[in-house]
Amino acid sequence: MDKSKSEFTKKSPKSIDCSSCKYKCSLNFPQNIREKICESFWNLKDYRRQKDFILANVKSATPKRRRPSNPSSEIKRTNSKTFYLCDKRVCQNFFLKTLSISNGPLIKAFQYKNKYTNFFDSEDRRGKHEPSNKIKPEIVNSIKEFLMLKCMPDNDSKFRKKVICDLNFRSLRTLYNSFKSGNHESCPSYTTFKRIFYENNFTFPQDRLKMKPVKPEPKIEIKSVEVVNFETAAIADSKEIMQDQVEHPKVIVTVPESSKFLTNQAEVYEIQFIHIPTINTL
Residue 132 has pLDDT above 70, yes or no: yes
- For every residue of 115-180, which 3-state class applies, written as one string? CCCCCECCCCCCCCCCCCCCCCHHHHHHHHHHHHHCECCCCCCCCCCEEECCCCCCCHHHHHHHHH
Contact predicate 17/26, CB 8 Å: yes
Would residue 226 count as lying in a domain?
no
In a domain, 155, yes or no: yes
Query: β-pairing, 250-255 with 267-272?
Result: antiparallel
Q: Which of 164, 181, 208 is the last residue of a domain?
A: 208
C-alpha to C-alpha distance for 25 and 21, rounded to whole angstroms: 7
Q: Is 157 inside any structural domain? A: yes
Instruction: Please check whether residues 16 and 117 belong to one and the same domain.
Output: yes
Residues with Cβ within 8 Å of residue 68, at least 6 apart in sequence: 75
Tell me the per-residue pLDDT of 50-62, one tens digit each, with 9 for 90 and over. Answer: 999 999 999 998 8
**Is 261 among the domain residues?**
no
Q: Which domain holds residue 25?
A: 11-62+79-123
Beta partners for residue 267, in sequence order: 255
Q: Do residues 111 and 147 both lie within one domain?
A: no
Write down the pLDDT at residue 161: 74
Asked if residue 172 and residue 99 are part of one domain, the reply reads no
Q: Are residues 20 and 108 in the same domain?
A: yes
pTM: 0.49
Specify whether 16 is located in the same domain as 92: yes
Q: Is 148 in the same domain as 176?
A: yes
Q: Same domain, yes or no, for 152 and 57?
A: no
Q: How many domains does the chain have?
A: 2
Q: What is the pLDDT of residue 237?
A: 63
Angle at 40 between CA 36 and CA 42, to 5 degrees: 120
Q: Are residues 105 and 191 in the same domain?
A: no
User: What pLDDT is recorded for position 198?
Assistant: 87
Answer whether residue 238 is part of any domain: no
Q: For the chain, give the mean pLDDT.
A: 76
Q: Decide if 3 is inside a domain.
A: no
Quick one: 175 and 85 in the same domain? Answer: no
Per-residue pLDDT tens digits for 106-124: 999 999 998 888 899 888 8
Pick from 160, 193, 197, 158: nearest CA to 177: 193
Of 123, 158, 175, at which residue does a domain stop? 123
Residue range 3-19: average pLDDT? Answer: 74
pLDDT tens string 140-149: 888 888 888 8
Distance CA 260, CA 70 (A): 136
In this prediction, residue 216 carries a pLDDT of 61
pLDDT grade for 261, boundaries at 50, 70 and 90: very low
Quote the pLDDT of residue 174: 85
Residues 95 and 185 in one domain: no
**Position 263 confidence tier, pLDDT thresholds 50, 70, 90:** very low
41 lies in the same domain as 118: yes
Look at residue 70 in the predicted model and tell me its pLDDT: 72
Residues 156, 194: one domain?
Answer: yes
Q: Does residue 141 lie within any of the structural domains? A: yes
Percent of the chain clearing pLDDT 90 (strictly above):
24
